[in-house]
Amino acid sequence: MQDNAHTTDVAIIGAGPVGLFAVFECGMLDMKCHVFDALDMAGGQCAALYPEKPIYDIPGYPRIDAALLVDRLAEQAEPFAPTYHFGHSVTGLERTADGFVVNNAAGERVAARAVVIAAGGGAFGPNRPPIPGIEAFEGKSVFYLVRRREDFRGKRVVIAGGGDSAVDWALSLAELAAHVMVVHRRPKFRAAPQSQAQLEALAKEGRVELVIPFQLAALEGTDGKLGAVVVADLAGNERRLEADCLLPFFGLATELGPLAQWDLTFDDNRIAVDPASCATSRPGIFAIGDIAAYPGKLKLILTGFAEAAAAAHAIHPLVHPGEALHFEYSTTKGVPGS
Ligand SMILES: Cc1cc2nc3c(=O)[nH]c(=O)nc-3n(C[C@H](O)[C@H](O)[C@H](O)COP(=O)(O)OP(=O)(O)OC[C@H]3O[C@@H](n4cnc5c(N)ncnc54)[C@H](O)[C@@H]3O)c2cc1C
């Protein structure tokens, strides 16, 4: 078998909170999973949009930061040894004699008995600033998401953008970076007024430099290592900001992409499912979490968790045909290594 061809029981599209919990629920029913995500990390919206925000409606956690919830879900899935395929969108789905083959943009192919679509609002991808040659710096000194703030300790960081992410990360990184510069095209930010006031206070103290009204124009550096970010104002005046990293925060776009062409029944851009099983209109394909639609659906993480359990039970006979499924509590069954 080629290195990029795999076989498993269940292919899960989306490693958001709901996709991660589906690994656990499938694992409890002796089903192995491969999980795909366009992002280069797990967590979906929790990781990409609000990692440091507290969530208050996860049962058993009166308050938990979104990033920590993702870590806990990954830890809960770990005994079932999922394989993750990060950093590339799922682009294709083929029906085979005994299931499906799912493949991503990197050419990885996973044959599975069943497919679970936990794709939220669609594949996440950054809104890239139109700077020639930026791709060469991506992942080395240009980052569209902050995975670990510690990575920026002692660095000279340029943050571009005027929304919550730009302002919140400027405040956060000012505590440990060598120098933080915020490039924005106008004095008014689109962030929470309290955060903007904090940013302006830091700027007065000289702990953050506001580079306004400027826009990104060019990058200087070699082999993906940034040396400087060139910015320009509308009159064409340029400034050269010496920097180690650039964080462009112009939002993340979501794209339903090829899923929309998979002959599934859609209900207002979401996949219509039977709420008892999360089965879609195509046998063997299930949808859970934000992407799944049925009357009365609440787009909440806790709803998605219950859907993951329902889907796993519905998938069991496809993976283990003829095997009776006796409903068991986790307290009775335990998990591997427990
Ligand atoms: C600011 C904010 C605050 C929130 N607060 C709360 C809260 O307090 N409580 C609560 O319950 N909910 C909250 N939510 C909503 C919650 O985050 C979502 O309900 C939850 O993330 C849905 O999980 P999911 O796994 O279904 O989808 P997502 O988290 O959207 O994850 C889907 C993943 O699928 C991937 N994907 C999609 N298509 C493809 C493809 N073709 N190929 C590869 N990967 C793909 C995406 O890249 C993404 O990572 C909040 C949302 C936001 C934005």
CA distances from 150 to 103, 144, 167, 172 (A): 34, 16, 18, 10
Residue 13 beta carbon below 6 angstroms from any ligand 1 atom: yes
Contact (Cβ atoms closer than 8 angstroms) between residue 295 and residue 268: no
Q: How far is the CA of 322 from the centre of ligand 1 (A)?
A: 35
Contact (Cβ atoms closer than 8 angstroms) between residue 129 and residue 95: no
The residue type of 269 is N
pLDDT of residue 3: 72
What is the tens place of the pLDDT at every residue in 273-302? 999 999 999 999 999 999 999 999 999 999
Contact (Cβ atoms closer than 8 angstroms) between residue 214 and residue 181: no
Task: State the DSSP H helix or E strand holding residue 307, giving kind and residue range, or none if neither.
Answer: helix 301-319
What is the b/e burial string over 203-216, where b = at least 16 CB atoms within 10 angstroms of the residue's CB?
beeebbbbbbebbb
Helix (H, G, I), strand (E, B) or coil at 70: helix
Q: Which of 195, 201, 143, 147 has its CA nearest to residue 168?
A: 195
Atom from ligand 1 closest to the CA of residue 46: 17
Positions in the chain whose pLDDT score sits under 70: 1-2
The residue type of 163 is G
Q: pTM of the entire structure?
A: 0.85
What is the tens place of the pLDDT at every residue in 34-76? 999 999 899 999 998 888 789 999 999 999 999 999 999 999 9
* Best probe residue, ligand 1, of 168, 297, 301 (max atoms within 8 Å of C-beta): 301
Q: d(Cα 246, Cα 282) in Å, to the nearest integer? A: 44
Atom from ligand 1 closest to the CA of residue 125: 47
Q: Which of 261, 248, 284 has its CA nearest to residue 170?
A: 248
Q: Interhelix angle for 66-77 vs 17-28, to 10°?
A: 20
Q: d(Cα 103, Cα 101) in Å, to the nearest integer? A: 7
What is the tens place of the pLDDT at every residue in 208-229? 999 999 999 999 999 999 999 9
DSSP 99-144: EEEEEETT--EEEESEEEE--TTSEEEE-----TTGGGGBTTTB-S
Beta bridge partners of 142: 138, 246
Atom 51, ligand 1: residue with shortest CA distance? 45
Q: d(Cα 19, Cα 42) in Å, to the nearest integer? A: 9
pLDDT of residue 91: 94
pLDDT of residue 251: 86
pLDDT of residue 2: 60
pLDDT of residue 1: 52
Atom 19, ligand 1: residue with shortest CA distance? 300
